[in-house]
Amino acid sequence: MAAFSYKTSAELFPAAIRKKKRAGFAYRRFDTAAEAVRFAIEELPADSLNGAYLQVEEARFDQNGIRTLYDSAEFPLARRAPEPSAEAVVGDASADAAA
C-alpha cells in the first residue's frame, strides 16, 4: 500500500442514517486530507463523527481510521490542546481550597 498523503484533497461524508438530523454537518470537500482529518476530530460532535467517513482518492476511512490518521506522528497540522477533564478541574479546586 502506498504511503498516505495528507496533502491530497479529501471529502468528508456524514453518516448515512437519515432518521436523525445531523445539524451543522453535511458533505464537505477539503483542499487537503490533513484539514479534513483535523475538522472531523476537532470540530464535529461525536455523534456526527460516528458513521461518517472520509474519502481520499480511492481510500475510505471510518471514525477509527480518521482517528488513526489524526494520532499519527506524520499528521502535519498542530493539534488542539486537550481540554482538561472534569476530574482535573475538581482536583485543582480542592487543592486551591486547602491552601
pLDDT value at residue 1: 40
pLDDT (tens digit per residue) in 15-41? 765 555 545 578 999 999 999 999 999
Q: What confidence category does residue 87 fall into, taking pLDDT thresholds of 50, 70 and 90?
A: low
Mean pLDDT of 51-57: 93
Q: Quick one: 16 exposed, middle or buried, by C-beta within 10 A (0-12, 13-18, 19+)?
A: exposed
Q: What confidence category does residue 88 fall into, taking pLDDT thresholds of 50, 70 and 90?
A: low
Confidence (pTM) = 0.74
pLDDT value at residue 97: 56
Which residues share a beta bridge with 13?
53
Cα torsion for 26, 36, 9, 67, to the nearest 10°? -120
Write the DSSP symbol of residue 28: E
What whole-number distance in Å separates Cα of residue 63 and Cα of residue 48?
10
